[in-house]
Amino acid sequence: MKQEKKKINQLQKQLPPEEELYDLAEVFKVFGDSTRIKILYALYQSELCVADIGEVLEMNQSAISHQLRILKDAKLVKSRRAGKTIFYSLDDDHVAKILAIGTEHLEERK
């Protein structure tokens, strides 16, 4: 009984701070929308502007812009301006890795 309590205390001490856990949960919430996942997969293939993403996903630019804003706020997507056009891409390799690991997990379950 005493060893169990010690084990529980050790595990509690190893948990990240509550704020960090909250932030991580917020990142995963962003991945909880299939439209955003489609956008991320499209950007995994190529840097694209809103019009191109809309065409690929067969959605209107307003809906794409809304989702891009969420992805950008979560630091999953970055943008760059070229003249009047803004191009979007994955923020870094971590985003691609998350997508790849999620896909791999699903494949293993089949």
Could you read off the pLDDT of 58-106 as tens digits, one per residue? 999 999 999 999 999 999 999 999 999 999 999 999 999 999 999 999 9
pTM to 2 decimal places: 0.87
Q: Specify whether the CB–CB gap between 50 and 68 falls below 8 A.
A: yes
Contact 97, 66 (CB under 8 A): no
Judge contact between 49 and 88, C-beta under 8 A: yes
Q: Are 58 and 52 in contact (CB under 8 A)?
A: no
Residue 47 main-chain phi, psi, to 5 deg = -70, 135
